[in-house]
């Protein structure tokens, strides 16, 4: 059975290269014939690891291809996920499994709604990768990926292929709790780093703002039934800030590079979930509004 990777960006390429070099069958699904031609001209994907680069001639097709897909890694941004899956939904076999590598929450439901009866497995990753050129990916930070089934079914046998490919992963019995917890970290840290124009560690100067957000985020998690994910949120957020003190958050990097952010699937999702749960979350709402204004000011989408 072959893996199809839709979204040959940073994380998708990182996964594809590691699967390919472990002799796991994998192919890329590129957007259109023009991208496929460009890819073929490059002869494959180049992975840069610890300063060494290696070219992997991974097979590829484009969205117009009609071959059935049995196992898909959807590795695009959260705001692209619904449209991307719509382009391949008709090719998924009835028993197809889809791993969703999107950050935040909301996109997983948008995808699952289009795939009734198919197994959708959300993932949450702390690995770091970026592109330093077309068809080139730099493995920038060791991390870990949690994968799980919100319906609670058993772990798939193909996790062995990830093991063989040295993709560090754990099957999570409660993937939604993990996604909520990560969303809370991202809401407490990322928007403030954008608004204050600072590295994660410099948030110590805005201690009160971080703490006030953590209080509301814990309230939100509990209100949304994620009681365990709310435990020790303040101290964990500060632990993450310390551990990543020298880094710029992913949202800071997106704004600095003039890229669209995943705001709707992070702070936007948090505020909407709070409203549905009839919670008063003034700090989160004000932060969402300030961030949207900031994005407007930079000519970036506010959603
Ligand atoms: P990316 O922008 O580098 O790659 C996404 C790729 O998907 C792009 O190549 C884009 O062209 C492609 N794509 C989008 N729509 C498509 C379509 N319809 N058809 C074909 N291709 C399509 O993104 P990324 O950094 O790999 O991030 C993917 C997800 O993983 C995001 O939600 C991100 O927050 C999360 N994440 C990324 C990292 C990281 O270090 N890069 C770490 C943790 C989590
Ligand atoms: O995941 C992150 C990001 O930058 O997106 C951390 C480092 C946890 C900060 O929120």
CATH number at residue 288: 1.10.1040.10
Q: How much is the pLDDT for 263?
A: 98
Looking at 121, 140, 173, the residue that finishes a domain is 173
Reduced to 3 states (helix: H, G, I; strand: E, B; else coil), residue 88 is helix
| Same domain (yes/no): 119, 218 | no
| Same domain (yes/no): 65, 187 | no
| Same domain (yes/no): 156, 187 | no
Assess if residue 303 is contained within a domain: no
**Closest C-alpha residue for ligand 2 atom 1:** 186
Ligand 1 centroid–CA 66 distance in Å is: 23
- Write down the residue that tokens 């996790």 correspond to: 159
Looking at 128, 156, 173, the residue that finishes a domain is 173
| Same domain (yes/no): 22, 126 | yes
Q: How much is the pLDDT for 190?
A: 98
Structural domain count of the chain = 2
For the chain, which residues score pLDDT lower than 70?
none
Q: How much is the pLDDT for 106?
A: 98
Q: How much is the pLDDT for 182?
A: 98
Assess if residue 270 is contained within a domain: yes
| Same domain (yes/no): 87, 169 | yes
| Same domain (yes/no): 214, 144 | no
Assess if residue 302 is contained within a domain: no
Looking at 138, 173, 208, the residue that finishes a domain is 173
Ligand 2 atom closest to Cα of 240?
8
Range of the structural domain that residue 146 is part of: 3-173
Cα 124 to its chain centre, rounded Å, is 6
**Closest C-alpha residue for ligand 1 atom 40:** 128
Cα 239 to its chain centre, rounded Å, is 21
CA of 85: how far to CAs of 26, 76, 88, 150, 264, in Å?
A: 18, 10, 5, 19, 18
Assess if residue 99 is contained within a domain: yes
What is the pairing mode between strands 52-56 and 145-148?
Answer: unpaired
Ligand 2 centroid–CA 189 distance in Å is: 7
What's the DSSP call for residue 4? E
Q: List CB contacts of 90: < 8 A, sequence separation 6 or more.
A: none
Which own/partner pairs from 216-222 qualify as long-range (CB within 8 Å, at least 24 positions apart)?
A: 216/274, 216/281, 216/282, 216/283, 216/284, 217/184, 217/187, 217/188, 217/270, 217/284, 218/184, 219/279, 219/281, 220/184, 220/270, 220/273, 220/274, 220/277, 220/279, 220/281, 220/284, 221/180, 221/181, 221/184
For ligand 2, is residue 188 a contact (CB within 6 Å)? no
Q: Rounded CA gap, 79 and 58, in Å?
A: 26
Nearest to 129 by CA among 46, 217, 34: 46
Q: How much is the pLDDT for 139?
A: 98
Q: List CB contacts of 208: < 8 A, sequence separation 6 or more.
A: none
For ligand 1, is residue 182 a contact (CB within 6 Å)? no
CATH number at residue 98: 3.40.50.720
Instruction: Record the tokens describing residue 225, joined without a space.
Output: 């039934």
Assess if residue 40 is contained within a domain: yes
DSSP sequence for 144-173: -EEEE-TT-PPPPTTHHHHHHTT--EEEET
| Same domain (yes/no): 236, 273 | yes
| Same domain (yes/no): 16, 71 | yes
Ligand 2 atom closest to Cα of 250?
4
- So which residues are the catalytic ones? 182
- Write down the residue that tokens 């909520």 correspond to: 180
| Same domain (yes/no): 242, 217 | yes
Q: Rounded CA gap, 10 and 277, in Å?
A: 35
| Same domain (yes/no): 78, 102 | yes
| Same domain (yes/no): 108, 42 | yes
**Closest C-alpha residue for ligand 2 atom 4:** 249
For ligand 2, is residue 125 a contact (CB within 6 Å)? no
CA of 51: how far to CAs of 47, 54, 106, 138, in Å?
A: 10, 10, 36, 9
Q: How much is the pLDDT for 266?
A: 98
Ligand 1 centroid–CA 227 distance in Å is: 30
| Same domain (yes/no): 138, 192 | no
């Amino acid at each position: 059975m072959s893996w199809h990777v839709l979204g040959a960006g940073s994380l998708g390429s990182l996964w594809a290269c590691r699967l390919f070099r472990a002799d796991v069958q994998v192919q890329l699904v590129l957007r259109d014939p023009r991208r496929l031609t460009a890819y073929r001209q490059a002869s494959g994907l180049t992975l840069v690891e610890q300063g060494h680069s290696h070219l992997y001639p991974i097979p590829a097709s484009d969205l117009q291809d009609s071959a059935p897909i049995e196992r898909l890694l959807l590795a695009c941004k959260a705001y692209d996920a619904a449209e991307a899956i719509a382009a391949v939904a008709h090719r998924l076999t009835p028993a197809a499994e889809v791993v969703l590598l999107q950050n935040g929450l909301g996109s997983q439901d948008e995808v699952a709604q289009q795939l009734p009866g198919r197994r959708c497995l959300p993932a949450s990753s702390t690995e770091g990768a970026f592109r330093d050129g077309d068809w080139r990916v730099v493995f920038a930070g060791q991390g870990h990926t949690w994968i799980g089934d919100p319906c609670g079914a058993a772990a798939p046998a193909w996790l062995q292929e990830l093991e063989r490919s040295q993709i560090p992963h754990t099957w999570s019995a409660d993937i939604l709790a993990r996604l909520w917890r990560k969303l809370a970290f991202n809401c407490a840290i990322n928007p403030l780093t954008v608004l204050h124009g600072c590295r994660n560690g410099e948030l110590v100067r805005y201690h009160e703002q971080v703490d006030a957000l953590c209080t509301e985020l814990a309230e939100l998690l509990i209100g949304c039934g994620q009681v365990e994910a709310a435990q020790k949120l303040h101290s964990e957020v500060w632990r993450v800030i310390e551990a990543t003190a020298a880094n710029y958050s992913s949202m800071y990097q997106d704004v600095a590079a003039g890229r669209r952010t995943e705001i709707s699937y992070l702070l936007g999702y948090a505020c909407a979930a709070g409203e549905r749960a009839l919670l008063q979350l003034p700090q989160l709402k004000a932060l969402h509004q300030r961030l949207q204004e900031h994005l407007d000011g930079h000519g970036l989408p506010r959603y």
